[in-house]
Structure 1
């Protein structure tokens, strides 16, 4: 076991936090027990590039209980929680990462994970997968496959596969129903506002919140903003999603118009240059800017610097930009993923990541047991369904089953009478 963390003496604090999340991740704990008993991952080396925080460490411990050697690093230079990383290292995981990495350190730590010559990769945003294809191609022949956590990463991998550049199979965990319907919607919605409110100590009720993008993450953010008493405006480029947002009760308009009303603007598109110079120039004094997409490219910070006469940090997580006319705009967490890059952000709730990381653990098991051709695959339906059933069971919920007569009726093409 090896590690490179900020301060290993933080491990006791991190262990307490890991124990807390374990109490709220019953599905993953059940899978962990199965793994402990059967050791299905014996002889497998797993490399992961995920946000290093207590829930992710618990996934690593689950895989280790299955017999795997596990090496982990963070997928965002600002999202690692140092006490959790230290705890993971002290519990036997190979951990490389600390909060406030430089770009160079970030990629060095991914290389440290790859130095373990993993058989299976777990990625969040696909940086590790791309690094293998660009710089560590000698590893490709031994990689059985990978799993990808995010919408952004899957989009990139599908483009890579279309161009014939992908060299091993990848399971698109984010495409599982038990991922996007819950993690993206309820997890992102709650964790985004946990971070914004914790960082700013602002009241949401009575504010106008502009949500850029109405995919599953945007839907969750808009829903939570509405529940907190905000007026919500949605901006979209997809006509079907825009229509859906309107039917859900939200105002829909072009971003050039929406920014004039925004007290808080949140991006959740996965795309570049969603908010640029022309939007900044039309914003209200005091507007709060936050990003809940994966990369720090949605809010163009360089444009914001260019049009400002000065900017400074109010605290670790808030930058104030003063424009020539005296208006002040406030950027949270450097435009990075606010629910983890902000020091007040703790990521999605444990109960949500219980579902997502159970999918990850079972997808890794599937990759270890099956030979797949190169391509991007959905999570097998039986895994998706099993995770849902286990979660319902853990919540004490029982549901009905179809009778044989009902099954026959639904499978028949003949007219029912």
Structure 2
């Protein structure tokens, strides 16, 4: 495909990076058979013909396949980054040059540029918004009320974004349908657990080249992302301590074989700290004060608020880059604390994000959630909606089929039994 760049609006680092981006996008596609099948169907059925769509996502090789599938389905799509450090510039270039998709994303863009790109996305007057953290939806509600009438609905794939949508619903400002992609079983069981678990440690190792075996790793939060991170850290030989506020999740962590402590007690013991809570200032001033010299701190939650970097900077006599995406804060006390990826998503700031095999299911959910919104235009009530169970199961079926795995089916006798209340012991 040849794209006339002079006729396409975009803002990326360098179109010359497209060749490398195309190669990497093709490599990721080897492990995304579910989304490939959905793209092929979309190309035939054109479910998004006449639909203006905005996707605010991490601009990675996997996201590229989602964007390509949506365009194949007829969408008039614009892509922006959902995090200033999560863009892969070569991928952004290939989407522009090879696929003619308007992309506004540059790795390392400042907050002003990021916010400008959110405004550019809303200038597209979207009918569908794919959000990752709910920044676009929040800006629409706060600043562009007149455009809500154009909106069929939105989809959201992060825990952080769902928390924000729930707050919007509570405040009475979520006046349109939003599909909770994050809670689909084929999303959080796999993306959050296996994807975050592996890619978080990948980011830490790439940034520091540190040996995890024998280290004490503190995992803040034991949701699905925390479970995966703790599991993988233990698998690499680390001694894992979990911090939690939820007593049920804390018990689960204990039953899974992890030590559970308050952060105040864990802080002096940790060599590496990983936050995955979705909340603010999980690691604070008093925790920095008691950390070991050389402690490494990073975040794998969506926003860069989980680590109180402002207080850390106030304690620092010197801040210097010691490796790519790795800063050492030399404290007035003489100790040092190392921060990876500016406290942003470590798996995307310092690595490549989740493996494509798990994103295959996550983005299949996104694609089918968009189709669900379009097919049910005007029928869904305002508020949060779950992915239909049959869609979730179809994605799992397609994934198993692609992996060459078969499962049992119920016999007629079994179907009768589970649908009857009269049969007992």
- What does 1:7-86 correspond to in 2, within 5 Å? 7-86=14-93
Deviation at 1:131, TM superposition (A): 0.8
Counterpart-to-counterpart distance in 2, 1:21 and 1:163? 40
Q: Could you tell me how far apart the structure 2 residues matched to 1:404 and 1:92 are?
A: 51
Candidates 349, 365, 383, aligned match of 1:375 = 383
Q: Contact (CA 8 Å) 1:51, 1:75: kept in 2 or not? A: yes
Q: State the distance in 2 between where 1:205 and 1:293 align.
A: 24
Match of 2:251 among 233, 237, 243: 243
**Cα distance, 1:365 vs structure 2:** 0.4
Taking the aligned partners of 2:146 and 2:96, their CA distance within structure 1 comes to: 27
- CA distance in 2 between counterparts of 1:111 and 1:52 reads 17
Q: What stretches of structure 1 move > 4 A for 4+ residues in a row?
A: none
1:365 to 371, 381, 391: 371
**CA distance in 1: counterparts of 2:260 and 2:317, whole angstroms:** 32
Pick from 350, 354, 358: which aligns with 1:352? 358
2:400 matches 1:392: yes
1:39 offset after TM fit, Å?
A: 1.2
> Residue 332 of structure 1: CA displacement?
0.4
TM-score (norm 2): 0.96
Distance 2:64 2:338 in 1: 32
What is the deviation of 1:167? 2.1
Q: Distance in 2 between matches of 1:388 and 1:16?
A: 28
Match of 1:105 in 2: 113
Q: CA deviation at 1:414?
A: 2.0
Aligned-pair distance for 1:99? 0.8
CA contact (8 A) 1:2 1:89 kept: no
TM-score of the two chains, using structure 1 as the length reference: 0.98
- Corresponding residue for 2:143? 135
Gaps of 5+ in 1: none
| Preserved contact between residue 183 and residue 386 of structure 2 (Cα < 8 Å) | yes
Aligned with 1:187 (options 195, 200, 203): 195
Equivalent in 130, 145, 156 of residue 164 of structure 2: 156
- The number of aligned residues is 415
Contact kept? 1:77, 1:99, Cα under 8 Å = yes
Per-residue Cα deviation, 1:326-375 (whole angstroms, up to 9, x for no partner) = 21110000101101122xx1010000000000000000000011031110
1:179–1:356 contact (8 Å) kept in structure 2: yes
Please state how far the C-alpha of 1:2 moved relative to its aligned partner. Answer: 2.2
Residue in 2 aligned with 1:303? 311
